[in-house]
Structure 1
Amino acid sequence: MRRFAIREETHSAVSWLLRTARAHGHAMRVFYRLDGSQPDPVETYETPGWRGIGPVVTGNRSDGQLQLNIFADLFDTVRLYVDGGHVLDTETGYLLTTFADQACDAWRLRDAGMWELERLEHYTSSKIGCWQALRCAVHLAEPGSDQLDASLLLHAGSGFDQGPRMSSAIDALFEKLSSGPLLYRFSGAREQEEGAFVACGFWAVSALHHVGRTDEARTLMDRLVAMTNDVGMLAEMIDPRDNAFLGNLPQGLSHLTLIGAALDLAS
């Protein structure tokens, strides 16, 4: 998704992955249900199945298998996320350290391999997967950045963090990326002479509400709504220097985030 420049979905997917891994006590499994819970056990039914291939089976026998390639999948995903300009918080760093340690210990073990075979063997691709995971872990440990990304605001509502750390992150975003009630998308956007991204302002309304700063959220909401035009429309971006509309008009995302912020404030 990151390669297709799909930002919100990428944030949501990575947040889900890390949150789910943390919820299961740092024990990585091959797969999970969409709600992050463990899958149902395998059940076999005495029915012939499609073209008599049966029996019909629900569930997946690979659940609970040791597949060492999952370490590479996890760290490759996070590496791409960070290389795309995103920053990991300290707690996530500790979580990834735990998985890197597991890869260090597990690479010597026989596993089911990526083909989910019942017979455990020393598969070359599995060993290389552990190497790739640790290579990515080293890469993640080396770079640092003071660049900010306003899409971090989305995680206040995802349940990832709604405490003092997220509140401080919101303050940092306003300090570095804001111009009045508006926010630029990321560090450097202002210098690229693009306008402030309207949706970011409404994300900030929701984020402030989720961390318990609802009075500030309502004040910000009033200021943003006052920036609509004479027929209540919003553009994709606004130039903070003269409040001129830039980009698409009307912009669906701007209005969807307005509605989302209003619903959050009403909850």
Structure 2
Amino acid sequence: MSLPIEDYALISDCFTGALVGKDGSIDWLCLPRYDSASMFGALLGTEDHGRWLVAPTDATAESTRRYDGDTMILVTRWRTPDGEVEVTDAMPMGDHRADVVRRVRGVRGTVRMQQDLRIRFGYASAVPWVRKDTSERPSALVAVAGPDAIVVRGPMLHAADHSHHGEFDVKAGETVDLSLTWFPSHRPTPEALDVEHALRETRGWWTGWAAGCSHDGPYRDEVVRSLLLLRALTHLETGGIVAAATTSLPEAFGGERNWDYRYVWLRDASLTIAVLLAHGYDDYVDHWRDWLLRAIAGDPADLQIMYGLSGERDLAERELSSLPGYQGAHPVRVGNGASTQFQGDVIGEVMIALRRGREDGSEETKFSWALQRALLGYLEQHWRDADHGIWEIRGEPQAFTHSRAMVWAAFDSAIQAVERDGLDGPVVRWRALRDEVRADIEANGFDAVRGTYVQHYGSSEVDASLLQLAQVGYCDWEDPRMLGTVRAIEEDLLRHGLVLRYRTEKGVDGLPPGEHPFLACSFWLVEQYARSHRLDDATRLMDRLVALANDVGMISEEYDVDGRSQAGNTPQALTHLTLVRAADAIAAAGR
């Protein structure tokens, strides 16, 4: 059975990532991209669905782990009665190869180590043909199935029932290197990696990137780690930013709220870019804007709310029979049906991110501004349409208040582009539309009796996404209507001090009820508290939230308070970017 979600740590080369468990097993790895099929899939099943274990043979061995400074290199120290070793896990940067390195270094005494390698390509649907390459020293295994191939180098392995096992001793001062390299099966086997050079270059790459972070305030360590994770989720070449490294980790254990998050949501990517911009990474807006131009080029009516890492549009959702699911939570899904939804807020998120890029000195090109104008033209015709909202409901579309507020923000950003940045556009018409949208929200999206904005028109329910209204400038942080909304969220959506997205038992999402508090929503509440002069409340909630991160600072989508465990896909970009925003708000409030 797979480990608790919080027992995993991510290593990454900014093309894909591997989840390494506390037990020394890589239980999730998709090569060569995050959205490729898994070759190690034990996370969503058992060891027979693919894994690579490197750990002491002594079952009583204890481990601690950390990242190697401000990097995505994981260091696990194992202690046994006979000695200590360190295992350094990394995905090398700089050579654009698909490598995993596992270096075992003896620290004290002698430790007997074991390997258990189970290769399962195609989401565990294909057991490869494996051969030994006797021309190499140390030994090498080459595994092939269809288009995929890997070469594994290191101590000798022996075949047994579709797996490979081996043991080796490591003495104090000794180093044993293991490596795995993916390559297309029609190409020659890649040459062996210079592990020492690869680790040195990778350490330098990540450390240099992290050094550019501008954050002066509390929670600096958490902010830097979150930014590193956001960078790890950003494809080095295309600029696409995946929402998480995994698919189908359950929001409700044993339930069916299991979704594939290995794609680029325009909303999440836009919010990530805004956070990176706020912390000194100005060059990322141009890279992402280029991705955006390629992904959504064409008729604005064909706009999708998410794309593949290179802008792929076909993300049809299907269920896999080859993986049984995380601790039995089924189905396991690949693709995402929400890619065909209309979500009225998305254009607003994109416009805000590009506006903030201009504020930080990024210049619009002829094509990028033309694209934004085309999106606004589409929004003019469709902003009144019911939509599926930020939470991608699978019930009937609604007129979500949050979506309408983001429509307001889209036109507001366009007006600023003309009035402040000197771009061209029908500003008079945009002003009239902005005012019309506001009037519509105030007439239909506000409950005057309770004094709160509502989830959707015709409803009396609240929704945590309403906390974004002040973030985008729709209303002031201390506007009575905003404060009334906060009170309603505190009354209806707080569970054990953490915030639910909405009350699922009300049936709006078309799914069985029940899920755990959504961590991004709690970080939004921290930001609201800090910006509305409730600094003590903000700090108290922030301290609780950062304590929910695992031992290496990773946080997933939700938190099971009763089970005291993380839930949902991990690491979750939205969770980490809202952590950074919350820390920024607390820092600003304390000045």
Give the TM bin, normalised by the shorter chain: 0.5 to 0.7
Q: Are 1:146 and 2:467 counterparts?
A: no
Name which of 491, 510, 514 aligns with 1:175: 491
Which residue identity does 2:502 align to in structure 1? F
* Unaligned 5+ runs, structure 1: 18-32, 36-58, 64-69, 96-132
Contact between 1:14 and 1:78, CA under 8 Å: does it hold in 2?
A: no
Q: Which has the higher strand share?
A: 2
Q: 2:549 aligns with which of 211, 217, 228?
A: 228
How far off is 1:78 after superposition?
A: 3.3
**C-alpha spacing 1:189/1:16, structure 2 compared with 1 (3 Å):** farther
**% identical aligned pairs:** 31
Check if 1:211 corresponds to 2:532.
yes
**Aligned-residue offset at 1:85:** 5.3
Please point out which of 226, 248, 261 is paired with 2:569: 248
Matched with 2:382 is 76
Report the CA distance between 1:240 and its aligned residue. 2.3
Residue matched to 2:587: 266
Larger radius of gyration: 2
Where does structure 1 differ by over 3 angstroms across 4 or more consecutive aligned residues? 1-7, 9-17, 72-76, 81-85, 140-143
**1:85–1:233 distance in 2 versus 1, CA, 3 Å:** farther
> 1:130-168: CA deviations, max 9, x gaps?
xxx9xxx8xx96951012221111122222112121111
Sort the Cα spacing of 1:80 and 1:250 in 2 relative to 1 into closer, same or farther, 3 A.
same
Distance 2:580 2:554 in 1: 13
Partner of 2:63: none
Q: CA deviation at 1:202?
A: 0.4
Measured after TM superposition, the shift of residue 211 of structure 1 is 2.5
2:480 to 139, 164, 175: 164
C-alpha spacing 1:207/1:215, structure 2 compared with 1 (3 Å) = same
- Partner AA of 2:466 in structure 1: L
Structure 2: where are the runs of 5+ without partners?
A: 1-265, 267-302, 306-337, 357-368, 390-396, 409-435, 446-456, 507-511
Letter in 2 for 1:84: Q
249 and 260 in structure 1: CA distance in 2 versus 1, 3 angstrom threshold: same
Match of 2:226 in 1: none
* Cα shift at 1:179: 0.8
Work out whether residues 504 and 515 of structure 2, in 8 Å CA contact, stay in contact via their aligned partners in 1.
no
Shift, 1:250, TM fit: 2.2
CA gap of 1:164–1:12, structure 2 versus 1, over 3 A, is farther
Cα distance 1:14–1:264, how it changes in 2: closer, same or farther (>3 A)? same
CA shift digits 1:150-209 (9 cap, x unpaired): 111112222211212111101211211111232111221697222211111101111222
| SS of equivalent to 1:170 | helix
- Over the aligned positions, Cα root-mean-square deviation in angstroms equals 4.3
| Structure 1 residues 73 and 237: alpha-carbon distance in aligned structure 2, compared to 1, 3 A threshold | closer
1:194 and 2:515 correspond: yes
Distance 1:13 1:171, change over 3 A: farther
Opposite residue 498 of structure 2, the aligned amino acid is: L
CA–CA separation in structure 1 for the residues paired with 2:516 and 2:503: 13
Q: Give distance in 2, aligned partners of 1:193 and 1:252.
A: 23
Distance in 2 of aligned mates of 1:207 and 1:225:
17
Letter in 2 for 1:178: L
Give me the whole-angstrom Cα distance separating, in 2, the residues matched to 1:200 and 1:207: 11
8 Å contact kept, 2:385–2:399: no
SS of equivalent residue, structure 2 residue 384: helix
Matched letter for residue 188 of structure 1: T
The alpha-carbon deviation at position 242 of structure 1 amounts to 2.3
CA separation of 1:144/1:213 partners in 2, compared to 1, >3 Å: closer, same or farther? same
